[in-house]
Amino acid sequence: MKNSVAAHYTHGQLLDRILGGVEAIDKTPATVTVDELAPVDEFHIGGRQASEDFISQLELSTNDHTLDVGCGIGGTSRFVASRFGCRVTGIDLTPEFVSTGQSLCDWVGLSDQVELHQGDATAMPFTDESFDAAFMLHVGMNIANKAGLFAEVYRLIKPGAFFGVYDVMQTSDEPLTYPVPWSSVPDTSALASQEQYMEALEQAGFDIVKIRDRREFAAEFFAETHRRMEQAGGSPPLGVHLAMGDSAPVKISNMVENIAAGRVSPVEIFVVK
């Protein structure tokens, strides 16, 4: 499944497409900012607003070293580093995402604060208790071994540290309409329910702090995105469609339908070691 997941996300020309989007807004790699990259950087429901709402609950400070599990092209890592001043290490399975993300860190001058690694989130190459906090956004839907994933995060963060999860979770037994952003077919989707997440987290040793279902927020986000696209007459120069490729419209449409039908919902879970 790991090879299939990496293949699903591999684009081949992602950095070139992002560069084209940057030039379309009259910017260059030397002048573009973290905030201007946000539309393409935040590859999860709710975009930058979701990141702000979610990450602010981790209570990060400038001295913290934070782990971004399944970092993608490193958008949330860069946001965290720029907004909270802390150091961030990210890891992702897809080589193109990591190489693209490191280039984007160079563009915005954050290479000293953000370091991205290619690797498996269930077997990370980091030292025990080396992180002050950890987070993952829309990652678990691609990782079947959630017990192994959460045990690994538990190993890596310090006692008393927070770990935040923001994933799309299964809310009914009704089959999903595919393709969706994280998977083109059911075989490469590893959806689980909120209860299954809680069980795996507690099994790893975490204590549940709080849970928040973001279904209403998601509905508002998609409606607003649709309004903006209609006003603009199409997709913006920079957006998550660049990472999803030509199938982006049908993937997003199916995601909206699946949420509206009650099959899935984006959910936040915060735990502490």
Name 149's Cβ contacts closer than 8 Å, sequence gap at least 6: 69, 121, 122, 140, 143, 200
Tens-place pLDDT, residues 62-117 = 999 999 999 999 999 999 999 999 999 999 999 999 999 999 999 999 999 999 99
SS3 label, residue 63: coil
Q: What is the pLDDT of residues 160-213, one digit of tens each?
A: 999 999 999 999 999 999 999 899 889 889 999 999 999 999 999 999 999 999
Task: Domain ranges for the chain, please list them.
Answer: 2-272
Global pTM value: 0.93
Q: Tokens 């990370």: give the residue.
A: 124
136-151 pLDDT, tens digit per residue, is: 999 999 999 999 999 9
Report the pLDDT value the prediction gives residue 264, as an integer from 0 to 100: 96
Six-digit token pair at 253?
A: 């449409």
Task: Assign domain 2-272 to a CATH class.
Answer: alpha beta
Q: What is the pLDDT of residues 23-46, one digit of tens each?
A: 999 999 999 999 999 999 988 999
Q: What is the pLDDT of residue 98?
A: 97
> What is the structure's pLDDT at 154?
98
Contact 128, 67 (CB under 8 A): no
